[in-house]
Amino acid sequence: MNRKKILGFGVAGVLVIATLAVGAFVFIQRSTQGNASGFRPGMMMRGGAGQSTAPGGLIAVSAQGTPIPAPADGTKQPENTAAQKVGNLNVKLTLSPYPPASFSQGDFKVTLTDEKGQAVTDATITLDLTMPEMPMPSNVLSPKHTAQGVYQSAGRFTMRGWWRIEVMIQSAGTKQSAFFDLWL
């Protein structure tokens, strides 16, 4: 081979190696940094430092993923329930069975009350189940009103990992969302 071809192959090889190294660096950084709620992609499957590998951990979060503190009134929720205030609504999400298992049918129950604790019975609820770190097919549930302020639907998580549940609420001409994070 002539010198130009050898030099060309050498430069191409260096570029390929550099690209792979940068890609590996970015992957490692994203896998260890986590988001504002403290979750790291793949943490439950790998068992991150000091983290349990058990499924569960249903928590209320902001739209950015920051955990929302428990209510100041000291009310303790069961481990399968998380709650938050959104606008003038109190939104409570309950999952059964708990902890949920991937591919198994489960019950999603949303309880809505207003700021006075009165049941909200005229809302339209949609649940959007997504994995923030992974593109997934649409997994949307449409709970139906079953009792005073209680909306229920059956659904399933399609794999293990970090899930975000967006509870979209249309009531009294307004649209609001509450967010919950969960590990499977």
Give me the pLDDT at residue 184, please: 87
pLDDT means per 10 residues, the chain with 184 residues, are 64 59 48 44 37 69 91 80 95 95 93 96 97 92 97 95 96 94 92
| Residues pairing with 181 in the sheet | 59, 164
> What CATH number has the domain bearing residue 175?
2.60.40.1930
Look up the pTM and report it.
Answer: 0.71
- 112 in a structural domain: yes
Q: Is residue 16 part of a domain?
A: no
User: Do the domain assignments include residue 89?
Assistant: yes
Q: What is the pLDDT of residue 20?
A: 57
pLDDT of residue 70: 77
The reply to whether 41 falls in a domain is no
Distance set, CA 2 to CA 9, 13, 16, 17, 29 (Å): 11, 17, 22, 23, 41
164: CB partners within 8 A, 6+ apart: 61, 65, 129, 130, 131, 132, 179, 180, 181, 182
**Structural domain contains residue 176:** yes
Report how many domains make up the chain: 1
* 158 within domain boundaries: yes
Would 134 be classed as within a structural domain? yes
Within a domain: 103: yes
DSSP, residue by residue, 84-146: EEETTEEEEEEEESSS--TTS-EEEEEEEEETTS-B--S-EEEEEEEBTTB-----EE--EEE
Domain that holds residue 133: 54-183
